[in-house]
Structure formats: structure tokens, C-alpha cells
Chains A and B, each alone.
Chain A
Amino acid sequence: TQLLEQSPQFLSIQEGENLTVYCNSSSVFSSLQWYRQEPGEGPVLLVTVVTGGEVKKLKRLTFQFGDARKDSSLHITAAQPGDTGLYLCAGVSGGTSYGKLTFGQGTILTVHP
């Protein structure tokens, strides 16, 4: 069974601070995705990283895929209250199970004005 360990589970910060969320596994994934979920809604895809060592930027969000394709990080610069939500990493399986996602436990981010 492939597992993804996400940390921290909770993050409470002030507006303007920076933060990093980590996602680690002992397994290699075909790719890794980050989702954001708001209360009462399903997760929404933020980004997919595919290549080991890849870095993608989405405005104030920076996503990195580890060289060995087992871990990833999400860094938010100058967090804003609108960033508040649940962030989930998900590993994409390859082979015959291609497309099956394994999710981390999630990080609940609260950004205070």
C-alpha cells in the first residue's frame, strides 16, 4: 500500500507570513498533485508535478517535486486570508493502476488578518 505523509496537519499564521507544507512517501509516484478544498465543496486541483526536481509557480504558491519523485512541498509566500482552506497532496499511481490517487492526510491552513 502506498502512503503519503503530509505535515503539518494544522497551520495557523498571520497574514503576510510564509509557510511550507510537506508531503513525503517511501513510494515512487508517476506524478504528484496538490488540491485545495473549501468547506462544503470537493477538492479542486491546483497543480500537477511530473518530473523529478520540477518546480512550478502559481502566483504566490510554489510547488516542488523531489528528485526521486517520492516527496513534494508547497510553499506560500505572503499568505492572505483567502488562502485559508484544506490543502491535500495526492500521488498518482502508474502501471496498471495508472490514474489512481493516494491522498495525504491534509493540512488545514488558517490565515488570520
Chain B
Amino acid sequence: DADVTQTPRNRITKTGKRIMLECSQTKGHDRMYWYRQDPGLGLRLIYYSFDVKDINKGEISDGYSVSRQAQAKFSLSLESAIPNQTALYFCATGDFRDELEGYTFGSGTRLTVV
């Protein structure tokens, strides 16, 4: 099994619909992150969580919400999807106890809003 699992891998939804992207990790890390990737813009941080009780907004949180259901689970919701939320979404985990350690990313969810 992958260290970070994202579901679904692909999703097409209609404008105005609510959609949830799910993420689970088996690394045992406290910290989890949601990023959005658009061509030419790299990865931009949507939300991050340093532990189950700690949720923080990233640079592009408007239109999104998150839920940290457990140490291993961190879900991202689009309350009312709009076309400019069409993107590749990545969940990641990493605790930097070793400063050389990086994030472990999931394989991504490709979301299309029509």
C-alpha cells in the first residue's frame, strides 16, 4: 500500500456541487497538507494541519474547507465547486523530525469542474 493514498484519482463534477477529496497516510506523521497544482504556478498551499486539533489556512483557502478526522486522515472539501477550481490536488505528510526529510505526497486527484 502507498504511504499516502488519495481518493478519488479523477473526478468530474458540476458547478455548484459539493465535493470531498480524501487522504489517508500510514507514515504516522502528525502533519498533513493539501496543495493545489496548476500549470506554471507550482504547488500552492490550501490548508495544513500540524495535529488533529490544529488546522491552518494556507495561501489559497477561499472556497475550500478541511476536516482532520484522525491523525491519519485529512479531507478537503469544495463547498460549491466552480470551474476555476479545476486543478490537480495533492495531499502530503511530513514532520521534519529529521531536517533532511521531505514530504511524502499522494498520487494526486485530478478534479474537473464543468
Contacts and interface: CB of A to CB of B under 8 A. Distances in A.
Interface of A: 1, 4, 6, 9, 30-31, 33, 35, 40-45, 48, 50, 88, 90, 92, 98-106
A100 B102 contact: no
Given A35-B102, A43-B103, 11 more contacts: A42-B92, A42-B106, A45-B101, A48-B102, A98-B96, A101-B33, A101-B103, A103-B43, A103-B44, A105-B41, A106-B40
B44 A44 contact: no
A1 B96 contact: no
A9 B40 contact: yes
Interface in B1-47: 4, 31, 33, 35, 40-45
B62 interface: no
17 contacts: A31-B99, A33-B102, A40-B107, A42-B106, A42-B107, A43-B43, A43-B103, A48-B99, A92-B96, A99-B94, A99-B96, A100-B33, A100-B48, A103-B44, A104-B42, A105-B41, A106-B40
B42 A6 contact: yes
A42 B102 contact: no
Q: Contact size class for B? A: 20 to 34
A103 B42 contact: yes
Contacts of A40: 107-108
Interface in B66-114: 90, 92, 94-96, 99-103, 105-108
Contacts of A41: 107-108
Contacts of B100: 48, 50
Contact of B95 (A42, A50, A92, A99): A99
Nearest to A105: B42
A35 B92 CA distance: 13
Contacts of B99: 30-31, 48, 50, 92
A100 B45 contact: yes
A43 to B, nearest CB: 5
